[in-house]
A and B are shown apart, each in its own frame.
Chain A
Amino acid sequence: MEWQTERHIQTAERNRAVALAHLNTQAHSVRPPAYEWAAVIAFYAAVHYVNAYLWEVRRYEPPDHQSRNLLVRGDPGLRPCQQHYERLLAVGFRARYVPGFRLLEQGARDLVELDLEAVRRVVRDALGLT
C-alpha cells in the first residue's frame, strides 16, 4: 500500500474515533446537545477514507469536494457506499452553515454508526484491510 494511502486511512480512523467520542461525551456539554457536529467530524473521516481509496486505485488526490463527489458517484468501487457518503456530505454541510440545523442523538448515530461505517467498510475491503 502506498504511504499516502496509509496516511489517509490513519487520519480517517482518528477522525472516526473523534466522531464516536463526540457522540458519547462532548455533545452533552451544551444544551441542546450539539449532535450535529458528529456529522461534520464523520464527514471528514469519510473524506479521508475516500481519498485513501482514490489514491491507491487511481493515484488521484481530489482538489475539492466537487471532484471527489464525481468519483464517489461514478467509481464502481465506491458506488456501494455512495448514498451514505452523500448523506454525510449534505448533513455535514448543513451542520456547518445553516443556522438552527439540529440533529437528535439517533440521527447522529445513524450518520456515524451506519453511514460512516458503510464508507469505512467499502474502502477497507477494497484495500484489503481487515
Chain B
Amino acid sequence: MAIPWQPEIRPVDAHELAAALAEMVRHEPSVLRMWVSSHGGVTSLWLLTEDMESKDELRLYGLTADLQDRFPGALFHFHLLSPQYYEWFDLDMLLPQGAEEFALRAA
C-alpha cells in the first residue's frame, strides 16, 4: 500500500546546523577543523579530518541522519575533507568562497 507523502522543506540557519554538528564531532579526534557555507537555501558543512579507516568515515557520514532528525526539512550537504584522497590538497580550492571556519573546540 503506497503512502502519499512528500518531504517538507524547512529553512534553517546555517550556523545552527553547524553548531549542532560541531557538538556531535567535538570529541572525534580525527576531526580537525570545520567550515560552513550557504548558497540558495542549502547549507554546506565541511569537516577536515585526518586519514581515516573506511568504517570510521561511514560513522561520520551516519551523523547526517542524526542532524536531519534535529532539523527536519533542512537542506544541507556534508563533506569530509581528507588529504589521502587528493592529488593536490589545497583548502583554498576545496572550500567555496565565503566559507566560514566554525570553532570545534574552545580555545
Give chain A's interface secondary structure class: helix
B98 part of interface (Cβ distance < 8 Å): no
Count A-B pairs with CB separation below 8 Å: 81
Give chain B's interface secondary structure class: mixed
Contacts of B86 in A (CB 8 A): 98, 100-102
Query: Of all chain A residues, which has the CB nearest B54?
Result: A110
Q: Please report the C-alpha to C-alpha distance between residue A69 and residue B69 in the assembled complex, in whole angstroms.
A: 13
Indicate if the CB atoms of B73 and A70 lie closer than 8 Å.
Answer: yes
Interface size classification for chain A:
20 to 34
Q: A73-B64, A79-B65 are in contact. List 14 more A-B contacts (CB 8 A).
A: A58-B5, A59-B3, A60-B5, A67-B7, A67-B9, A70-B9, A73-B68, A82-B62, A86-B62, A86-B65, A90-B79, A100-B86, A107-B54, A107-B85
Indicate if the CB atoms of A70 and B68 lie closer than 8 Å.
Answer: yes
**Chain B: interface residue total (CB-CB under 8 A):** 32
Q: Please report the C-alpha to C-alpha distance between residue A71 and residue B93 in the assembled complex, in whole angstroms.
A: 31
- Contacts A99-B88, A102-B87, A110-B54; is A86 near B7 (CB within 8 Å)? no
